[in-house]
A and B are shown apart, each in its own frame.
Chain A
């Protein structure tokens, strides 16, 4: 009896230590989020990606996230906290985390980092982003077809190349339908602030815009467009529930496959510093169903999507004329090259506005 009890105790201890060991063997993967996971936009999509990762590799990894991390000195601490908690692969999911991520990466060469939408890399720090301008081009086509006033409203976050290239792609597409198309731009100076985003949408509608597009993260603008009976494009996420009669389509980010691929590489020991810039063909983002538009517009959008995915249509095909009336140098053979798009700091002709800081 006593012997069997001892055996049982030993067995329990052994089982305990085994499970402890397997927990310790799990690869720890950390995420730093800009907004709350319930923002229903940018951060929400990253967290969906994390959840997809857990579903796929949950028995081999353990994930942790820090949400609502401001893009200041607090972010450096947040990243370092994740390192110190044993995370070996850390995704930092906002442009403003670039310098803090790099600082921590240099301090911990044995930990791997992945920074979204930035341009600084290190042997242990990759970058990843998506060619959203492709989706913007499709939106520009639809917007020009659907706008009765010929005025589009655009809510920008920060005038960084990613956002500027989105505005240019939109207007270049719209000009192929309506050469006199106008765009009003409001800089919200934030990625996520539903109050400010809603105010911007109201102001744009008051200025005559009847199609609202945004490069900010919350569904607030969609709700305003819906209330006012206008049309709008969602951003980052499916937003049809906020504007069943308003949403034309939405650029839906899909980070899951990328996260799974990178974690698999880490598990296999083949991770290396890379720069990934995924387009429609890579499925790093997708277009939400084309809704609230006539069939011919829908067909046009689908055709454009197919052409871009197949590489037959490039949103920045030359000639591209800048606001100053001079053609932009064409480095990519028939279209602008990736470097030009990634550092885009000019408006194309036809945008009746001034790029902030220019």
Chain B
């Protein structure tokens, strides 16, 4: 008797829906075993991870703050991935957006510039992110260069460019040489939604982005085009859809969203430009995009869920002295199960009973 993976004749819609749930279930089972081995009460640990952060307003705000950049970037990436364009460099587009927007903030610092500053920062950041994403897209379309490689490499360029700026021309003159710009003026700061909290306008923008993406994909020809080009490139060609044009478009949109997320993060929770503004949001967003099944609503949920594991991980560290590494193991296991369960959409398990007679004859 053998267990084999057999290709399904068509995608299983049911599995596509329940696969993330199976993955989360398996993750929880694995974590319970892990907690037990570590000598921690699994129920209390799971409570610290998943329930405690949902029970007070402060943690809920923090989850939203953490999820905001992840969701915005992941929405953009999902459009790329649906159209079979592999943008791996959202991290770089995030940083370039942050830099471009900060340029206005730094240049208007200490002047009596008015309320136009923040909107201008947002627009410029989105434009810069889009332009930066167009580099790999154009290289792909014109020269056939792998966009996976070029977009990834441009992350490091962006990182070093930001580094240069905050160490050199934009350094806060009163910052004792530390590589940060001065704190942005209030007009260059994303407004808070709750007095004394950390929830900011960016979270609302992220929700609008989710809604816009849902409408684009579900209700417009363009959205249909994106999905067809990705799922059935040949059919799309017969249908007269231009795949190259879509690569350019989806890269630009996803770059713009990453850039916007970048400036919102810098002008929001951070308050100034510095290296290390992103703990890898551009890469984590790839996980969020797939965890959310490249579906806008799914991405929103996945982003919030991943943010929950960050916040919960901290609370578990505080409340139960569970090491940070366990949180990372936890996130890794989750991704592993998601990918594993996804294979069930296209494949199914089948028990195969080898025909003994044939085997015997073959051996003889």
Contact residues in B for A159 (Cβ distance below 8 Å): 167, 177
Distance A65 CA – B79 CA, assembled complex (angstroms):
40
Contact residues in B for A11 (Cβ distance below 8 Å): none
Given A66-B314, A77-B311; 18 other pairs, CB 8 A cutoff:
A68-B324, A71-B276, A72-B274, A72-B278, A77-B65, A77-B314, A81-B315, A82-B318, A85-B315, A85-B318, A95-B178, A159-B177, A160-B177, A160-B178, A161-B176, A356-B167, A356-B177, A357-B168
Contact residues in A for B325 (Cβ distance below 8 Å): 36
Distance A64 CA – B48 CA, assembled complex (angstroms):
15
A326 within 8 A of B: no
Contacts known (A72-B274, A72-B279); A64 close to B176, Cβ less than 8 A? no
Contact residues in A for B62 (Cβ distance below 8 Å): 77
A158 touches B319 (CB 8 A): no
Q: Can you list 10 A-B pairs, Cβ within 8 angstroms, ordered by A?
A: A64-B317, A64-B318, A72-B276, A72-B279, A77-B62, A77-B198, A85-B315, A356-B167, A356-B177, A357-B167
A319 within 8 A of B: no
Contacts known (A158-B177, A160-B178, A345-B177); A74 close to B279, Cβ less than 8 A? yes
- A107-160: which have CB < 8 Å to B? 107, 119, 158-160
The 7 closest A-B pairs by CB, nearest first: A73-B269, A85-B318, A159-B177, A73-B270, A160-B177, A160-B178, A68-B324
A84 within 8 A of B: yes
Partner of B321 from A64, A82, A95 at Cβ < 8 Å = A64
B265 touches A119 (CB 8 A): no
Distance from A29 Cβ to chain B, minimum over Cβ atoms (Å): 12
B179 within 8 A of A: yes
Distance A80 CA – B177 CA, assembled complex (angstroms):
27
Task: Count residues on chain A whose CB falls below 8 Å from chain B CBs.
Answer: 36
B314 touches A158 (CB 8 A): no
- B309-362: which have CB < 8 Å to A? 311, 314-315, 317-319, 321, 323-325
Distance A95 CA – B177 CA, assembled complex (angstroms):
12
Show the binding face of B for A, using Cβ within 8 Å.
Answer: 58, 62, 65-66, 163, 167-168, 171, 176-179, 183, 196, 198, 265, 269-272, 274-279, 311, 314-315, 317-319, 321, 323-325
B275 touches A189 (CB 8 A): yes
A70 touches B276 (CB 8 A): yes
Distance A36 CA – B62 CA, assembled complex (angstroms):
23
CB-based nearest B residue for A76: B269
B314 touches A78 (CB 8 A): yes
Contacts known (A73-B265, A160-B178, A345-B177); A81 close to B163, Cβ less than 8 A? no
A164 within 8 A of B: yes
A343 within 8 A of B: yes
Contact residues in B for A345 (Cβ distance below 8 Å): 176-177
Distance from A222 Cβ to chain B, minimum over Cβ atoms (Å): 24
A39 within 8 A of B: no
Contact residues in A for B317 (Cβ distance below 8 Å): 64-67
Distance A146 CA – B274 CA, assembled complex (angstroms):
39
Contact residues in A for B271 (Cβ distance below 8 Å): 99
- A334-358: which have CB < 8 Å to B? 343, 345, 355-357
A161 touches B177 (CB 8 A): yes
Fill in one digit per residue for A179-215: 1 if any B CB lies within 8 Å of its CB, else 0.
Answer: 0000000000100000000000000000000000000
Distance from A50 Cβ to chain B, minimum over Cβ atoms (Å): 12
Partner of B324 from A67, A76, A356 at Cβ < 8 Å = A67
A158 touches B178 (CB 8 A): yes
